[in-house]
Amino acid sequence: MIDLKLLQKDFESVSAKLTRKGVRTDLLSSLKEKFEALKEAKAVFESLQAAQNAMSKEFGVYKREGKDISELKARVDTNKLKVSDAIEIQRERQEELEALAMTVPNMPDDTVPDGADENDNVVISKVLTPKEFNFTPKEHWELAEQNGWIDFERGVKIATSRFSVSFGMGARLERALINFMLDFNRERGFEEVSVPALVNRQSLEGTGQLPKFEDDLYKIEGQELFLIPTAEVPVTNLYSDEILLSDELPKRMTAYTSCFRKEAGAAGRDTRGMIRQHQFHKVELVAITTPDTSEAVFTQMVACASDILTALELPHRLVNLCTGDLGFGAAHTTDLEVWLPGQNQYREISSISNTRDFQARRAKIRYKNGKKNEFVNTLNGSSLAVGRTLVAIMENGQNEDGSIDIPEVLKPYLGM
Protein backbone atom coordinates (compact mmCIF):
# COMPACT_ATOMS: atom_id res chain seq x y z
CA MET A 1 0.00 0.00 0.00
CA ILE A 2 1.22 3.50 -0.72
CA ASP A 3 2.31 5.65 2.22
CA LEU A 4 -0.93 7.35 3.29
CA LYS A 5 0.93 9.85 5.48
CA LEU A 6 3.05 10.87 2.49
CA LEU A 7 -0.04 11.09 0.32
CA GLN A 8 -1.74 13.35 2.86
CA LYS A 9 1.39 15.46 3.37
CA ASP A 10 2.22 15.92 -0.33
CA PHE A 11 -0.90 14.95 -2.24
CA GLU A 12 0.00 16.75 -5.46
CA SER A 13 3.45 15.17 -5.80
CA VAL A 14 2.21 11.65 -5.08
CA SER A 15 -0.75 12.15 -7.42
CA ALA A 16 1.61 13.21 -10.22
CA LYS A 17 3.61 9.99 -9.79
CA LEU A 18 0.48 7.84 -9.74
CA THR A 19 -0.83 9.61 -12.85
CA ARG A 20 2.37 8.51 -14.64
CA LYS A 21 1.28 4.93 -13.92
CA GLY A 22 -2.17 5.50 -15.38
CA VAL A 23 -4.17 5.98 -12.17
CA ARG A 24 -7.46 7.70 -13.04
CA THR A 25 -8.05 11.25 -11.85
CA ASP A 26 -11.46 10.28 -10.41
CA LEU A 27 -9.77 7.69 -8.16
CA LEU A 28 -7.30 10.30 -6.96
CA SER A 29 -10.18 12.73 -6.32
CA SER A 30 -11.97 10.04 -4.31
CA LEU A 31 -8.83 9.51 -2.25
CA LYS A 32 -8.68 13.21 -1.50
CA GLU A 33 -12.34 13.21 -0.47
CA LYS A 34 -11.74 10.25 1.86
CA PHE A 35 -8.82 12.10 3.44
CA GLU A 36 -10.97 15.19 4.00
CA ALA A 37 -13.79 13.09 5.48
CA LEU A 38 -11.34 11.39 7.87
CA LYS A 39 -9.79 14.74 8.79
CA GLU A 40 -13.25 16.15 9.57
CA ALA A 41 -14.18 13.09 11.66
CA LYS A 42 -10.95 13.41 13.65
CA ALA A 43 -11.62 17.10 14.27
CA VAL A 44 -15.13 16.34 15.59
CA PHE A 45 -13.77 13.62 17.86
CA GLU A 46 -10.97 15.82 19.19
CA SER A 47 -13.44 18.66 19.91
CA LEU A 48 -15.78 16.34 21.79
CA GLN A 49 -12.87 14.77 23.67
CA ALA A 50 -11.60 18.20 24.67
CA ALA A 51 -15.07 19.08 25.96
CA GLN A 52 -15.14 15.80 27.91
CA ASN A 53 -11.78 16.57 29.51
CA ALA A 54 -12.93 20.08 30.42
CA MET A 55 -16.13 18.77 32.04
CA SER A 56 -14.15 16.18 33.97
CA LYS A 57 -12.11 18.98 35.52
CA GLU A 58 -15.33 20.76 36.42
CA PHE A 59 -16.39 17.78 38.52
CA GLY A 60 -13.49 18.45 40.89
CA VAL A 61 -14.38 22.12 41.17
CA TYR A 62 -18.06 21.36 41.77
CA LYS A 63 -17.24 18.88 44.52
CA ARG A 64 -14.84 21.26 46.28
CA GLU A 65 -17.44 24.03 46.15
CA GLY A 66 -20.31 21.71 47.09
CA LYS A 67 -22.30 22.44 43.96
CA ASP A 68 -25.04 20.23 42.52
CA ILE A 69 -23.46 18.02 39.82
CA SER A 70 -26.65 16.58 38.33
CA GLU A 71 -26.79 19.00 35.39
CA LEU A 72 -23.05 18.58 34.72
CA LYS A 73 -23.38 14.79 34.90
CA ALA A 74 -26.21 14.90 32.35
CA ARG A 75 -24.02 16.95 30.00
CA VAL A 76 -21.11 14.53 30.50
CA ASP A 77 -23.30 11.51 29.79
CA THR A 78 -24.66 13.13 26.63
CA ASN A 79 -21.16 14.03 25.48
CA LYS A 80 -19.94 10.48 26.16
CA LEU A 81 -22.50 9.19 23.70
CA LYS A 82 -21.33 11.74 21.14
CA VAL A 83 -17.70 10.73 21.71
CA SER A 84 -18.63 7.07 21.21
CA ASP A 85 -20.42 7.92 17.96
CA ALA A 86 -17.47 10.06 16.84
CA ILE A 87 -15.03 7.18 17.47
CA GLU A 88 -17.20 4.87 15.34
CA ILE A 89 -17.46 7.43 12.52
CA GLN A 90 -13.70 8.00 12.62
CA ARG A 91 -13.12 4.22 12.43
CA GLU A 92 -15.48 3.93 9.46
CA ARG A 93 -13.77 6.80 7.65
CA GLN A 94 -10.35 5.22 8.28
CA GLU A 95 -11.54 1.86 6.91
CA GLU A 96 -13.05 3.54 3.83
CA LEU A 97 -9.77 5.33 3.13
CA GLU A 98 -7.68 2.18 3.58
CA ALA A 99 -10.07 0.08 1.45
CA LEU A 100 -9.76 2.58 -1.40
CA ALA A 101 -5.99 2.85 -0.92
CA MET A 102 -5.71 -0.95 -1.34
CA THR A 103 -6.82 -0.49 -4.97
CA VAL A 104 -4.13 2.10 -5.69
CA PRO A 105 -0.90 0.81 -7.31
CA ASN A 106 2.63 1.54 -6.19
CA MET A 107 4.32 4.74 -7.27
CA PRO A 108 6.88 4.29 -10.05
CA ASP A 109 10.47 5.26 -9.39
CA ASP A 110 11.67 8.42 -11.12
CA THR A 111 14.00 6.27 -13.26
CA VAL A 112 11.08 4.39 -14.86
CA PRO A 113 10.57 5.59 -18.45
CA ASP A 114 7.18 7.01 -19.37
CA GLY A 115 5.15 4.95 -21.82
CA ALA A 116 1.72 3.57 -22.65
CA ASP A 117 2.46 -0.16 -23.01
CA GLU A 118 5.10 -2.81 -23.75
CA ASN A 119 6.00 -1.09 -27.00
CA ASP A 120 7.52 1.76 -24.97
CA ASN A 121 9.78 -0.45 -22.84
CA VAL A 122 13.51 0.27 -23.10
CA VAL A 123 16.05 -2.43 -23.98
CA ILE A 124 18.98 -2.26 -21.54
CA SER A 125 21.27 -4.90 -23.05
CA LYS A 126 21.39 -8.13 -25.03
CA VAL A 127 23.15 -11.31 -23.90
CA LEU A 128 24.34 -13.94 -26.40
CA THR A 129 23.73 -13.76 -30.13
CA PRO A 130 20.79 -15.70 -31.56
CA LYS A 131 21.79 -18.70 -33.67
CA GLU A 132 21.33 -18.48 -37.43
CA PHE A 133 19.47 -21.45 -38.89
CA ASN A 134 19.89 -22.73 -42.45
CA PHE A 135 16.27 -23.91 -42.33
CA THR A 136 13.00 -22.42 -41.15
CA PRO A 137 12.87 -23.07 -37.37
CA LYS A 138 9.73 -24.65 -36.00
CA GLU A 139 7.65 -23.40 -33.12
CA HIS A 140 7.80 -25.30 -29.85
CA TRP A 141 4.40 -27.02 -30.11
CA GLU A 142 5.47 -28.69 -33.37
CA LEU A 143 8.76 -29.83 -31.84
CA ALA A 144 7.03 -30.99 -28.63
CA GLU A 145 4.55 -33.14 -30.54
CA GLN A 146 7.17 -34.44 -32.98
CA ASN A 147 9.44 -35.58 -30.13
CA GLY A 148 6.60 -36.83 -27.93
CA TRP A 149 7.57 -34.45 -25.13
CA ILE A 150 4.26 -32.65 -24.57
CA ASP A 151 0.67 -33.66 -25.31
CA PHE A 152 -1.70 -30.70 -25.47
CA GLU A 153 -4.81 -32.68 -26.43
CA ARG A 154 -4.60 -34.95 -23.39
CA GLY A 155 -4.19 -31.90 -21.17
CA VAL A 156 -7.47 -30.56 -22.51
CA LYS A 157 -9.13 -33.98 -22.14
CA ILE A 158 -8.36 -34.37 -18.45
CA ALA A 159 -8.79 -30.67 -17.55
CA THR A 160 -9.63 -27.90 -20.06
CA SER A 161 -7.87 -25.61 -22.51
CA ARG A 162 -4.47 -24.18 -21.53
CA PHE A 163 -3.42 -27.36 -19.74
CA SER A 164 -0.84 -29.85 -21.05
CA VAL A 165 0.84 -33.13 -20.13
CA SER A 166 4.59 -33.75 -20.35
CA PHE A 167 5.94 -37.18 -21.26
CA GLY A 168 9.36 -38.81 -21.25
CA MET A 169 12.20 -36.41 -21.93
CA GLY A 170 9.81 -33.45 -21.71
CA ALA A 171 8.88 -34.38 -18.14
CA ARG A 172 12.49 -35.19 -17.26
CA LEU A 173 13.69 -31.86 -18.63
CA GLU A 174 11.16 -29.97 -16.53
CA ARG A 175 12.41 -31.72 -13.41
CA ALA A 176 16.04 -31.16 -14.45
CA LEU A 177 15.40 -27.45 -14.99
CA ILE A 178 13.76 -27.09 -11.57
CA ASN A 179 16.68 -28.78 -9.81
CA PHE A 180 19.27 -26.86 -11.84
CA MET A 181 17.62 -23.50 -11.10
CA LEU A 182 17.26 -24.21 -7.38
CA ASP A 183 20.89 -25.33 -7.12
CA PHE A 184 22.06 -22.29 -9.09
CA ASN A 185 20.08 -19.89 -6.88
CA ARG A 186 21.25 -21.59 -3.69
CA GLU A 187 24.87 -21.18 -4.78
CA ARG A 188 24.14 -17.47 -5.27
CA GLY A 189 23.05 -17.15 -1.64
CA PHE A 190 19.29 -17.72 -1.88
CA GLU A 191 17.97 -20.08 0.79
CA GLU A 192 15.70 -22.79 -0.57
CA VAL A 193 12.21 -22.93 0.95
CA SER A 194 9.18 -25.10 0.26
CA VAL A 195 5.81 -23.44 0.73
CA PRO A 196 2.08 -24.29 0.43
CA ALA A 197 0.30 -23.96 -2.91
CA LEU A 198 -2.74 -22.58 -1.08
CA VAL A 199 -2.80 -19.22 0.70
CA ASN A 200 -5.39 -17.17 2.56
CA ARG A 201 -6.88 -13.84 1.54
CA GLN A 202 -4.61 -11.86 3.86
CA SER A 203 -1.51 -13.20 2.12
CA LEU A 204 -2.80 -12.20 -1.32
CA GLU A 205 -3.73 -8.77 0.01
CA GLY A 206 -0.24 -8.47 1.47
CA THR A 207 1.52 -8.89 -1.86
CA GLY A 208 -1.08 -6.94 -3.86
CA GLN A 209 -2.94 -9.61 -5.83
CA LEU A 210 -6.12 -8.80 -3.91
CA PRO A 211 -8.46 -7.06 -4.15
CA LYS A 212 -7.61 -5.97 -7.72
CA PHE A 213 -6.89 -9.33 -9.39
CA GLU A 214 -9.41 -11.68 -7.76
CA ASP A 215 -10.91 -12.63 -11.16
CA ASP A 216 -7.56 -14.12 -12.18
CA LEU A 217 -7.29 -16.40 -9.13
CA TYR A 218 -8.59 -19.90 -8.47
CA LYS A 219 -10.57 -19.85 -5.20
CA ILE A 220 -11.45 -22.89 -3.08
CA GLU A 221 -15.24 -22.98 -2.81
CA GLY A 222 -16.53 -22.39 0.70
CA GLN A 223 -13.12 -21.35 2.07
CA GLU A 224 -11.00 -18.21 2.07
CA LEU A 225 -8.18 -20.11 0.36
CA PHE A 226 -6.73 -19.56 -3.11
CA LEU A 227 -4.28 -21.45 -5.34
CA ILE A 228 -1.13 -19.38 -5.61
CA PRO A 229 -0.44 -17.41 -8.82
CA THR A 230 3.27 -17.29 -7.92
CA ALA A 231 5.55 -18.35 -5.05
CA GLU A 232 6.08 -14.65 -4.37
CA VAL A 233 2.85 -14.71 -2.33
CA PRO A 234 3.62 -17.41 0.28
CA VAL A 235 7.36 -16.69 0.45
CA THR A 236 6.98 -12.94 1.04
CA ASN A 237 4.23 -13.53 3.60
CA LEU A 238 6.41 -15.88 5.65
CA TYR A 239 7.33 -12.73 7.56
CA SER A 240 4.01 -10.88 7.50
CA ASP A 241 3.12 -9.01 10.71
CA GLU A 242 6.66 -9.50 12.06
CA ILE A 243 9.47 -7.22 13.16
CA LEU A 244 12.84 -8.48 11.95
CA LEU A 245 16.27 -7.55 13.26
CA SER A 246 18.43 -5.51 10.90
CA ASP A 247 21.28 -8.05 11.13
CA GLU A 248 18.87 -10.72 9.81
CA LEU A 249 18.60 -8.81 6.53
CA PRO A 250 18.72 -9.28 3.67
CA LYS A 251 16.68 -12.47 3.63
CA ARG A 252 17.12 -14.03 0.18
CA MET A 253 14.97 -17.03 -0.68
CA THR A 254 14.19 -19.27 -3.63
CA ALA A 255 11.26 -21.65 -4.06
CA TYR A 256 9.83 -23.98 -6.66
CA THR A 257 6.03 -24.16 -6.92
CA SER A 258 3.30 -24.89 -9.37
CA CYS A 259 1.42 -21.67 -10.17
CA PHE A 260 -2.24 -21.26 -11.12
CA ARG A 261 -3.81 -18.42 -13.08
CA LYS A 262 -7.15 -18.13 -14.86
CA GLU A 263 -5.54 -15.78 -17.42
CA ALA A 264 -8.86 -13.92 -17.41
CA GLY A 265 -7.40 -10.99 -19.30
CA ALA A 266 -5.58 -13.09 -21.90
CA ALA A 267 -8.47 -14.28 -24.04
CA GLY A 268 -7.25 -15.11 -27.53
CA ARG A 269 -3.56 -14.66 -26.65
CA ASP A 270 -1.07 -17.53 -26.96
CA THR A 271 -3.82 -20.12 -27.25
CA ARG A 272 -1.38 -22.69 -28.64
CA GLY A 273 1.53 -24.18 -26.77
CA MET A 274 2.97 -23.54 -23.33
CA ILE A 275 3.49 -19.79 -23.24
CA ARG A 276 0.30 -18.99 -21.33
CA GLN A 277 -1.08 -21.90 -19.29
CA HIS A 278 -3.50 -22.10 -16.37
CA GLN A 279 -1.02 -24.25 -14.43
CA PHE A 280 2.74 -23.93 -14.81
CA HIS A 281 5.95 -24.53 -12.86
CA LYS A 282 8.19 -21.69 -11.74
CA VAL A 283 11.26 -21.13 -9.61
CA GLU A 284 11.00 -17.82 -7.78
CA LEU A 285 13.42 -15.43 -6.11
CA VAL A 286 12.22 -13.33 -3.16
CA ALA A 287 14.21 -10.90 -1.04
CA ILE A 288 13.37 -8.93 2.10
CA THR A 289 15.84 -6.22 2.91
CA THR A 290 16.44 -2.69 4.14
CA PRO A 291 15.72 0.32 1.91
CA ASP A 292 19.40 1.22 1.59
CA THR A 293 20.37 -2.24 0.26
CA SER A 294 17.35 -3.07 -1.91
CA GLU A 295 18.87 -1.81 -5.18
CA ALA A 296 22.04 -3.85 -4.65
CA VAL A 297 19.91 -6.94 -4.00
CA PHE A 298 17.81 -6.11 -7.08
CA THR A 299 20.97 -6.08 -9.22
CA GLN A 300 21.99 -9.47 -7.78
CA MET A 301 18.59 -10.96 -8.61
CA VAL A 302 18.66 -9.72 -12.21
CA ALA A 303 22.18 -11.09 -12.64
CA CYS A 304 21.16 -14.45 -11.16
CA ALA A 305 18.25 -14.94 -13.58
CA SER A 306 20.30 -13.72 -16.54
CA ASP A 307 23.21 -16.01 -15.68
CA ILE A 308 20.89 -19.03 -15.62
CA LEU A 309 19.79 -18.22 -19.17
CA THR A 310 23.42 -17.78 -20.19
CA ALA A 311 24.35 -21.13 -18.63
CA LEU A 312 21.52 -22.70 -20.64
CA GLU A 313 22.95 -21.09 -23.80
CA LEU A 314 19.77 -19.09 -24.38
CA PRO A 315 20.05 -15.64 -26.01
CA HIS A 316 18.09 -13.03 -24.11
CA ARG A 317 17.77 -9.35 -23.42
CA LEU A 318 17.16 -7.16 -20.39
CA VAL A 319 14.32 -4.63 -20.64
CA ASN A 320 13.39 -1.69 -18.41
CA LEU A 321 9.59 -1.60 -18.17
CA CYS A 322 7.83 1.71 -18.80
CA THR A 323 5.11 3.15 -16.56
CA GLY A 324 2.32 1.74 -18.72
CA ASP A 325 3.64 -1.83 -18.51
CA LEU A 326 4.71 -1.76 -14.87
CA GLY A 327 2.97 -4.18 -12.51
CA PHE A 328 0.54 -3.11 -9.79
CA GLY A 329 2.98 -3.46 -6.88
CA ALA A 330 6.25 -2.65 -8.65
CA ALA A 331 8.25 0.56 -8.23
CA HIS A 332 10.46 -0.59 -11.09
CA THR A 333 10.96 -3.80 -13.04
CA THR A 334 13.54 -5.37 -15.32
CA ASP A 335 12.12 -8.03 -17.63
CA LEU A 336 14.26 -10.80 -19.08
CA GLU A 337 13.09 -11.77 -22.55
CA VAL A 338 14.38 -14.95 -24.17
CA TRP A 339 14.85 -15.31 -27.93
CA LEU A 340 12.43 -17.76 -29.59
CA PRO A 341 13.54 -18.43 -33.18
CA GLY A 342 10.30 -20.29 -34.02
CA GLN A 343 8.36 -17.13 -33.20
CA ASN A 344 11.17 -14.87 -34.42
CA GLN A 345 10.89 -12.63 -31.38
CA TYR A 346 11.92 -12.13 -27.77
CA ARG A 347 9.35 -13.26 -25.16
CA GLU A 348 9.21 -12.54 -21.44
CA ILE A 349 10.60 -15.32 -19.27
CA SER A 350 11.22 -13.41 -16.04
CA SER A 351 10.24 -10.16 -14.32
CA ILE A 352 12.42 -8.90 -11.47
CA SER A 353 10.67 -6.19 -9.43
CA ASN A 354 11.51 -3.95 -6.51
CA THR A 355 8.28 -3.06 -4.70
CA ARG A 356 10.06 -0.78 -2.19
CA ASP A 357 7.88 -0.73 0.98
CA PHE A 358 4.57 -1.17 -0.89
CA GLN A 359 4.06 -4.84 -0.01
CA ALA A 360 5.64 -4.41 3.41
CA ARG A 361 2.99 -1.84 4.39
CA ARG A 362 0.20 -4.19 3.32
CA ALA A 363 1.76 -7.27 4.94
CA LYS A 364 3.11 -5.34 7.96
CA ILE A 365 6.71 -6.52 7.58
CA ARG A 366 9.07 -4.29 9.55
CA TYR A 367 12.61 -4.27 10.87
CA LYS A 368 14.20 -2.72 13.92
CA ASN A 369 16.31 0.25 12.82
CA GLY A 370 17.89 1.45 16.05
CA LYS A 371 14.99 2.34 18.35
CA LYS A 372 12.49 2.66 15.49
CA ASN A 373 10.52 0.01 13.62
CA GLU A 374 10.52 0.72 9.89
CA PHE A 375 9.10 -1.03 6.86
CA VAL A 376 11.37 -3.35 4.88
CA ASN A 377 11.70 -3.40 1.10
CA THR A 378 10.54 -6.55 -0.71
CA LEU A 379 11.69 -7.82 -4.11
CA ASN A 380 10.60 -10.74 -6.27
CA GLY A 381 11.34 -12.29 -9.63
CA SER A 382 11.06 -15.45 -11.71
CA SER A 383 14.21 -17.52 -11.92
CA LEU A 384 12.73 -18.88 -14.15
CA ALA A 385 9.36 -19.85 -15.59
CA VAL A 386 10.05 -23.54 -16.25
CA GLY A 387 7.64 -24.06 -19.15
CA ARG A 388 8.90 -21.03 -21.05
CA THR A 389 12.48 -22.11 -20.44
CA LEU A 390 11.65 -25.52 -21.92
CA VAL A 391 10.07 -23.74 -24.89
CA ALA A 392 13.27 -21.74 -25.39
CA ILE A 393 15.44 -24.86 -25.19
CA MET A 394 13.29 -26.60 -27.81
CA GLU A 395 13.28 -23.70 -30.25
CA ASN A 396 16.94 -22.69 -29.84
CA GLY A 397 18.29 -26.24 -29.70
CA GLN A 398 16.34 -27.65 -32.65
CA ASN A 399 17.93 -29.32 -35.64
CA GLU A 400 16.57 -29.59 -39.17
CA ASP A 401 15.31 -33.14 -38.55
CA GLY A 402 13.35 -31.94 -35.50
CA SER A 403 15.72 -33.39 -32.92
CA ILE A 404 16.72 -31.11 -30.03
CA ASP A 405 20.16 -30.52 -28.52
CA ILE A 406 20.18 -30.47 -24.71
CA PRO A 407 22.22 -27.72 -22.94
CA GLU A 408 25.40 -29.14 -21.42
CA VAL A 409 24.60 -27.91 -17.88
CA LEU A 410 21.43 -30.03 -17.79
CA LYS A 411 23.03 -33.28 -18.86
CA PRO A 412 24.26 -34.27 -15.35
CA TYR A 413 20.67 -33.78 -14.09
CA LEU A 414 19.49 -36.18 -16.82
CA GLY A 415 22.17 -38.82 -16.22
CA MET A 416 23.64 -38.04 -19.67
Q: Residue 76's pLDDT band (boundaries 50, 70, 90)?
A: confident
Q: Could you tell me the end-to-end alpha-carbon distance of the chain, in angstroms, rounded to an integer? A: 49
Rg (CA), the chain: 27
**Residues paired with residue 339 on neighbouring β-strands, in sequence order:** 346
Residue 213 pLDDT > 80: yes
What pLDDT sits at residue 266? 59
350 and 383 Cβ atoms separated by less than 8 Å: yes
Length of the chain: 416
Q: For the segment 225-244, what is each residue's pLDDT rounded down to a tens digit?
A: 999 999 999 999 999 999 99
Q: What is the arithmetic mean of pLDDT over 285-306?
A: 98
Least reliable range by pLDDT among 47-56, 346-355, 357-366, 401-410: 47-56
Residue 264 pLDDT > 70: no
326 and 333 Cβ atoms separated by less than 8 Å: yes
What backbone torsions phi and psi does residue 333 show, to the nearest 5 degrees?
-140, 140
Least reliable range by pLDDT among 18-27, 47-56, 178-187, 397-406: 47-56
**Residues paired with residue 125 on neighbouring β-strands, in sequence order:** 318
Q: Which residues are designated catalytic?
A: 261, 276, 348, 351, 388
Q: Kind of pairing, strands 251-260 and 191-192? A: parallel
Q: For the segment 36-53, what is each residue's pLDDT rounded down to a tens digit?
A: 999 999 999 999 999 888
Residue 306 pLDDT > 80: yes
Measured CA to CA, the distance from residue 220 to residue 127 in angstroms comes to 42
Q: What is the arithmetic mean of pLDDT over 9-26?
A: 92
Q: Residue 66's pLDDT band (boundaries 50, 70, 90)?
A: confident
Please name the residues in contact with 266: beta carbons below 8 A apart, sequence gap of 6 or more: 276
Q: For the segment 311-331, what is each residue's pLDDT rounded down to a tens digit?
A: 999 999 999 999 999 999 999
What backbone torsions phi and psi does residue 371 show, to the nearest 5 degrees?
-90, -10
